[in-house]
Amino acid sequence: MELKELRQKNAKQLSEHLLELRREQFNLRMQKGSGQLSQTHQFGRVRREIAQVKHLLGAMDKGQ
Protein backbone atom coordinates (compact mmCIF):
# COMPACT_ATOMS: atom_id res chain seq x y z
CA MET A 1 0.00 0.00 0.00
CA GLU A 2 1.27 3.46 -0.84
CA LEU A 3 2.18 5.94 1.88
CA LYS A 4 -0.38 8.37 0.48
CA GLU A 5 -3.12 5.78 1.00
CA LEU A 6 -1.92 5.06 4.53
CA ARG A 7 -2.07 8.75 5.46
CA GLN A 8 -5.78 8.83 4.64
CA LYS A 9 -6.59 6.18 7.26
CA ASN A 10 -7.45 6.90 10.88
CA ALA A 11 -5.64 5.41 13.88
CA LYS A 12 -8.01 2.46 14.26
CA GLN A 13 -7.68 1.48 10.60
CA LEU A 14 -3.89 1.78 10.83
CA SER A 15 -3.83 -0.44 13.91
CA GLU A 16 -5.89 -3.08 12.12
CA HIS A 17 -3.62 -2.86 9.08
CA LEU A 18 -0.58 -3.23 11.33
CA LEU A 19 -2.07 -6.40 12.83
CA GLU A 20 -2.64 -7.82 9.34
CA LEU A 21 0.94 -7.00 8.36
CA ARG A 22 2.31 -8.70 11.47
CA ARG A 23 0.30 -11.83 10.63
CA GLU A 24 1.62 -11.74 7.08
CA GLN A 25 5.17 -11.35 8.38
CA PHE A 26 4.67 -14.34 10.68
CA ASN A 27 3.33 -16.46 7.82
CA LEU A 28 6.28 -15.49 5.62
CA ARG A 29 8.66 -16.45 8.42
CA MET A 30 6.99 -19.85 8.77
CA GLN A 31 7.15 -20.43 5.01
CA LYS A 32 10.84 -19.54 5.01
CA GLY A 33 11.50 -21.96 7.85
CA SER A 34 9.78 -24.81 6.05
CA GLY A 35 11.46 -24.01 2.73
CA GLN A 36 8.24 -23.08 0.92
CA LEU A 37 8.96 -19.37 0.41
CA SER A 38 9.76 -18.52 -3.19
CA GLN A 39 9.20 -14.76 -3.15
CA THR A 40 11.78 -13.53 -0.67
CA HIS A 41 11.26 -9.89 -1.67
CA GLN A 42 7.99 -9.98 0.29
CA PHE A 43 9.98 -9.76 3.54
CA GLY A 44 11.30 -6.32 2.67
CA ARG A 45 7.92 -5.07 1.48
CA VAL A 46 6.15 -6.14 4.66
CA ARG A 47 8.91 -4.82 6.90
CA ARG A 48 8.89 -1.45 5.14
CA GLU A 49 5.12 -1.15 5.34
CA ILE A 50 5.14 -2.03 9.06
CA ALA A 51 7.66 0.76 9.63
CA GLN A 52 5.52 3.24 7.69
CA VAL A 53 2.38 2.37 9.66
CA LYS A 54 4.21 2.58 13.00
CA HIS A 55 5.65 5.96 11.99
CA LEU A 56 2.20 7.31 11.11
CA LEU A 57 0.69 6.00 14.36
CA GLY A 58 3.46 7.68 16.33
CA ALA A 59 2.92 10.94 14.50
CA MET A 60 -0.81 10.78 15.26
CA ASP A 61 -0.08 10.25 18.97
CA LYS A 62 2.07 13.37 18.99
CA GLY A 63 -0.64 15.33 17.22
CA GLN A 64 1.22 16.07 14.02
CATH code of the domain containing 41: 1.10.287
- The answer to whether residues 46 and 1 touch, using CB atoms and an 8 Å cutoff, is no
Per-residue pLDDT tens for 24-61? 999 999 999 999 989 999 999 999 999 999 999 999 98
Question: Would the pTM of this model clear 0.85, i.e. be above it?
Answer: yes
pLDDT of residue 64: 64
Domains held by the chain: number: 1
> What region does 33 belong to: left with phi over 0, alpha with psi -120 to 50, or beta?
alpha
Residue 33 domain boundaries: 3-62
- The answer to whether residues 53 and 5 touch, using CB atoms and an 8 Å cutoff, is no
